[in-house]
Amino acid sequence: MARRLGPGEWDRLRAGLEGRGLIDPDGSLTPAGRELKQSVEDQTDRAAATAYAGLDEHEIDQLVADLRPITAAVVATGEIPARTPIGLDLDDAR
């Protein structure tokens, strides 16, 4: 598991999510869960966008290129999976 939770801890957290109506018994997101997830994604996108506001398109492309070797090195350690729990696919960073 991504956060290295013990089975009992994971079961407790999962029961809480289900009790809040965010996941179904099978663990899939409910409509309310999808709505909350999208809200969090939108908020983090807005917050992250400010970091790039001063860069033009070429500078953003250069930043991505410059960060690719660092990303590959981190993924290679195994501490962050190439396919992350938050939906990032870092396979192309290797």
Phi and psi angles of residue 57, each rounded to the nearest 5 degrees, phi first: -60, -40
Phi and psi angles of residue 83, each rounded to the nearest 5 degrees, phi first: -110, 105
DSSP letter, residue 90: -
Instruction: Provide the residue ranges of all domains of the chain, joining segments of one domain with +.
Output: 7-53, 55-94
Please give the pLDDT value at position 5. 79
Predicted structure pTM score:
0.62
Please give the pLDDT value at position 1. 44
CB-based burial label for 57 (10 Å; 0-12, 13-18, 19+): exposed
Please give the pLDDT value at position 15. 95
- Local confidence pLDDT in tens for the 94 residues of the chain: 456 778 899 889 999 999 999 999 998 999 999 999 999 999 999 999 998 899 999 999 999 899 989 988 888 888 877 777 667 777 766 5
Reported residue count of the chain is 94
